[in-house]
Amino acid sequence: MNGDAGEVRIERIRAVRTAPEGIRLVIVKVETSTPGLYGLGCATFTQRPLAVCSAIEDYLDPLLRGADAQQIEDCWHVARLSSYWRDGPVLNNALGGVDMALWDLKGKIAGLPLYQLLGGKLRASARVYVHAHGRDASEVTDSARALLEAGFSAIRCQVGVAGAGTYGVGAAGTATQQVAFDPDRYARVVPALFAHLRDELGWDVDLLHDTHERLAPPAAVRLARELEPFGLYFLEDVVAPEDHGWLEHLRRHAAVPLAIGELATRGEDLAALAVGRLVDYLRPHLSDLGGITPARKLAALAEAFGVRMAWHGPGDASPVAHAANLHLDLALSNFGIQEWTPLTDASREVFPGAPTIDAGALVANEQPGLGIDLDERAAARHPYPEDNLNGSWRPVRLADGSVIRP
């Protein structure tokens, strides 16, 4: 939609539930007083989707009905402050989904891709990293080689630990997921994995690893130091948010690049890491942070301190979220790299216009707004799974039976 659309008011805000990959997605649809004009956002919090849907439809919809859809800043602050107790993943994902949808609307009203409203393109595409996994180093290497042959040049590598649970090994490791996590064995296996990968794959591929906040801080410091010789692109979530006070100590003892942020619900917390130059990459989940509005501000602050952005892009980020990530990637000077999870045909049917890959990088389709649509009939053919396994994170336990962070 081009030119002057006249007054555009929010008429209704809906949560659309769908699961084309078997993962519970929450899509926000902001309908307006202009017939046929709507915006889409992602509010997915896979482990608590129904709570987010309630926040959207029972609270944000009546709150924002009648508001000027183009006054994004005002809508964001009204919505965030309306609950008195603010932030947290449920409220922020609901708010973040609405915020994305309003930016999508803004682009459609202007007749421009969203990146144009953020200052225009700084790059033609956004380089991505993808995930390799396996039960042992040999399987991880085979997985990584297949991704290299597919045109990717940055690969996150996760390995199983024989006889123990671990993170990120995918289908090959589901049988071990209920086995106790062994932090000491994990910390020994990971450096050996990357020694093997460098021997087999060489140095022309960027390798990454996600610790997923599972190590105690002293063990995390030792692991970071032992991974130094293998030249990681970055080490992700080496400590939990509660342990960010250890990052200054870690910086003094290990030179491996660090990426932190997917668990953050407050941009202020990540801003402090950037100001302190305690990390090299910030990687928040857009909707968990509250949407595009706070994300672009955080990125601008991070740029001043030489910290780059690497937005969270896992399998439970919908194609709408991936599209929002991409538009920020194209417009930010301090873009680093984008996590990417390949989409199936089912997802592309539900979400026409989803971002595409060319030579290991994401490419925008140049349509107005986020450039993506939602086929609600197709979405209805993929209802939420009836079981609860994709709705809750299975408990991770130590050998003594105690539950630890996932």
Catalytic residues: 167, 212
Handedness of CA 161, 166, 170, 171 (dihedral sign): positive
Helix (H, G, I), strand (E, B) or coil at 245: helix
Q: Are 247 and 254 in contact (CB under 8 A)?
A: no
Q: Do residues 125 and 362 touch, judged by C-beta distance below 8 A?
A: yes
State which amino acid sits at residue 132.
A
CB 361, CB 152: distance < 8 Å? no
Phi, psi for residue 271 in degrees, rounded to 5: -60, -40
Contact between residue 197 and residue 157 where contact means Cβ atoms under 8 Å apart:
yes
Residue 132 exposure: Cα atoms within 13 Å on the Cβ side: 31
CA distance 36 to 283: 34
Helix (H, G, I), strand (E, B) or coil at 320: helix
Joined tokens for residue 100: 């994305």
How far apart CA 260 and CA 282 sit, in angstroms, is 5
Alpha-carbon distance values, 395 to 72, 145, 189, 212, 403 (Å): 39, 32, 22, 14, 6
What are 156's two structure tokens? 């996150």
Q: Beta-carbon neighbour count of residue 394 at 10 Å?
A: 11
Phi-psi region of 69 (alpha: psi -120 to 50; beta: other; left: phi over 0): alpha
Of 265, 283, 282, the closest CA to residue 273 belongs to 282
- Is 103 buried (19+), middle (13-18) or exposed (0-12) by CB count in 10 A? buried
Amino acid at 163: G
Q: Is 12 exposed, middle or buried (0-12, 13-18, 19+ CB in 10 A)?
A: middle
